[in-house]
Amino acid sequence: MTDTAVVPPDVLTAVRTKHRALWALGDYPAVASEVIPGLGAVLVEAAGVRPGDRVLDVAAGSGNAAIPAALAGAHVIASDLTPELFDAGRAAAAAAGAELTWAEADAHALPYADAEFDTVLSCVGVMFAPFHHVAADELLRVTRPGGTIGLIAWTPPGFIGQMFTAMKPFAPAPPPGAEPPPLWGDEAHVRALLGDGVTAVHTEVRSLPVSRFASGAEFRDFFKSVYGPTIAVYRNVADDAARTAALDEALLGLAARFQDTDGAMGWDYLLLTATRG
């Protein structure tokens, strides 16, 4: 287990401020609803969420996993560092007939008691908390013994993992001690993070079919307008026309590697479920 004091409080505060603003950029709920709408339900099913379960969705965004968990009959808290995402989540929940609680919370310091939840989920969410060991310890801490942790994260060699690789040369430097988000999609890395805090670990790499984009240019333009991390990278090179053009080409090249002739892609992700020890 990692002591949160390893990360200085001022660094955590700065990261919290920066990441809240980053995910408020653009329109992340559009990604959730138009590109990956079914991914949260996959996680809820794999985690075996049942009526009456106390469920926490960490880095829930607009409720991609939290809403299906509520529809399964669980008592759900959708927590996220960026409450600007909650309006879209509330609207989606109302449309689906789901009742749940929305709460601002940092994955590095969850404001919940030890062992408070039967199931703790995160669907391509906690992977973006840059201090992985701190966030993993929080997942473990708030899950009751015998409870379930369920995670979905993009894999390093998959499309989104490679998108972050393509953007890295154009991005601002990460804070000291930060780790790349796609490492949460590496089985060995996540097993090491959770360590002996879990048993009965099950992992599986799956591919999400994505047919939202007819061309590489459509993918690039969508992500540079709605996806916070991509918007932030473009802003970082906005004063350099050559680097902006190079970033454009890097994302086009990425799409060309993954799209078939009809524009369809498969985005690989790691699905992990485990029992809290």
Q: Tell me, what CATH number does 207's domain have?
A: 3.40.50.150
How far is it, in rounded angstroms, from Cα 123 to Cα 135?
A: 14
What is the rounded average pLDDT for all residues in the chain?
96
Average pLDDT over residues 2-24: 85
Residue 179 confidence (pLDDT)? 97
Q: Of 6-20, 29-43, 60-74, 126-140, which range is least confident?
A: 6-20
Determine, yes or no, domain membership for 244: no
Q: Which two tokens stand for residue 39?
A: 């991914």
Residue 3 confidence (pLDDT)? 43
Burial of 102 (0-12, 13-18, 19+ CB in 10 A): buried
Determine, yes or no, domain membership for 233: no
Determine, yes or no, domain membership for 133: yes
Q: How confident is the model at residue 6 (pLDDT cuts 50, 70, 90)?
A: confident
By three-state DSSP, how is residue 25 classified? coil
Contact between 170 and 236 (Cβ < 8 Å): yes
Residue 1 confidence (pLDDT)? 41
Average pLDDT over residues 125-129: 98
Determine, yes or no, domain membership for 159: yes
Residue 5 confidence (pLDDT)? 45
Determine, yes or no, domain membership for 197: yes
49 pLDDT above the threshold of 60:
yes
The single residue listed with the structure tokens 């154009």 is 170
How far is it, in rounded angstroms, from Cα 60 to Cα 101?
A: 11
The number of folded domains in the chain is: 1
Among residues of the chain, what percentage have pLDDT more than 90? 96
Determine, yes or no, domain membership for 20: yes
Average pLDDT over residues 70-91: 98
Average pLDDT over residues 106-128: 98
257 pLDDT above the threshold of 90:
yes
**Which is nearest to 88 in space by CA: 107, 61, 69?**
61
Residue range(s) defining the domain that contains residue 206? 4-211+265-276
4 pLDDT above the threshold of 90:
no
**Which is nearest to 47 in space by CA: 135, 182, 152, 154?**
152
Q: Of 4-8, 21-25, 107-111, which range is least confident?
A: 4-8
Burial of 146 (0-12, 13-18, 19+ CB in 10 A): exposed
How far is it, in rounded angstroms, from Cα 277 to Cα 237?
A: 46
List, for residues 173-223, the tens digit of each pLDDT value. Answer: 999 999 999 999 999 999 999 999 999 999 999 999 999 999 999 999 999
Contact between 25 and 228 (Cβ < 8 Å): yes
Average pLDDT over residues 33-38: 97
Determine, yes or no, domain membership for 95: yes
Determine, yes or no, domain membership for 248: no
Residue 2 confidence (pLDDT)? 39
